[in-house]
Amino acid sequence: MPSSLASRPIGVFDSGIGGLTVTRALMERLPFEDIVYFGDTARVPYGVKSIATIEQFGQQIVDFMLQQEVKLLVIACNTIAAVAANKLRERVSVPVLDVIGAGAANAVAASRNGAIGVIATPTTVNSNAYARGVHALRADARVFSQACPLLVPLVEEGWLDHPVTRMTVQEYLKPVLAEGIDTLILGCTHYPLLKPLLAQEVGNAIKLVDSAVSVAEQVAATLADLELATPSRDEADYRYYVTDIPLRFQTTGERFLGRSLRHLEMVHL
């Protein structure tokens, strides 16, 4: 019999819709787990906001998530994880995993020459959080980060294989590729959707580290360690909470999630 704690949902939160890529990775890796998703769609994007604002918003979100009685929290948003993860962890007693810790660990495992590239939002890059995560595991690693502010809107537009996106990616990657990296961290919720295009641009010699897949692996390992995994069953329950339902939300959300998006509710924090 699962403990009552084990039967609780996993909480996943993001600044908006992008964290649905992390939710998708979790659904694929842990199909029996219930998931509660929160996206702050009224206040997105966070990637260009100040640390103080992101911390404040993050605290409001965590308080909401705790009311949902989750057994584990996943910070799906790289920007929130980069600047507020420690503060948010102080507020809760359930385990809190985040895309940055998981992505950095996978990148260190994947890299042979220790030259690791990171692409992310400006706030994530300025925080140096991925570099710190990498250096904590491999002190002699060299980390080259590039802010890519134009990629979030291009992905939300659905331009996943579009000449404008390709040119933008080429421009952003130029300085990072010049450093001889053998591993590239996709340090933003939106970038897993660009994986095919990015793979073409960087070539076979460079490994792409998807932080969404990385954190899903960590969640699976943590639930197993703590004996909190939900046993096999027919289907899991998914609920989505957002602070606004903007135009085309359903279409864009389903593209990120890779399946239909039902049980959507609007809430105010």
97, 188, 219, 228: which is the annotated catalytic residue? 188
Residue nearest to ligand DGL (CB): 47
- Neighbouring residues of 48: CB distance < 8 A, sequence distance ≥ 6: 121, 122, 123, 149
Alpha-helical runs (H) found in the chain: 20-29, 51-67, 78-90, 99-110, 122-127, 129-137, 151-156, 163-177, 195-202, 211-225, 249-257
Choice between 53 and 222, CB closer to ligand DGL? 53
Choice between 82 and 105, CB closer to ligand DGL? 82
The DSSP secondary-structure symbol of 194 reads G
The CB-of-188 to ligand DGL minimum distance in angstroms stands at: 4
Q: What are phi and psi of 75, to 5 degrees?
A: -85, 100
Catalytic status, residue 77: yes
- Neighbouring residues of 4: CB distance < 8 A, sequence distance ≥ 6: none
Choice between 188 and 219, CB closer to ligand DGL? 188
Helix (H, G, I), strand (E, B) or coil at 207: strand
The CB-of-53 to ligand DGL minimum distance in angstroms stands at: 11
Choice between 147 and 206, CB closer to ligand DGL? 147
Asked if 119 contacts 191 with a C-beta cutoff of 8 angstroms, the reply is yes
The CB-of-31 to ligand DGL minimum distance in angstroms stands at: 24
Residue 36: half-sphere exposure toward Cβ, Cα within 13 Å: 19
Choice between 45 and 101, CB closer to ligand DGL? 45
Q: How far is CA 20 from CA 31, 58, 83, 193, 202, in A?
A: 15, 17, 20, 11, 25
Pairing of strands 96-98, 264-266: unpaired
Catalytic status, residue 148: no
The CB-of-265 to ligand DGL minimum distance in angstroms stands at: 20
Contact positions vs ligand DGL (CB under 6 A): 14-16, 18, 44-47, 77-79, 121, 124, 152, 188-190
The CB-of-258 to ligand DGL minimum distance in angstroms stands at: 17
26, 61, 70, 77: which is the annotated catalytic residue? 77
Q: Mind telling me the catalytic residues?
A: 77, 188
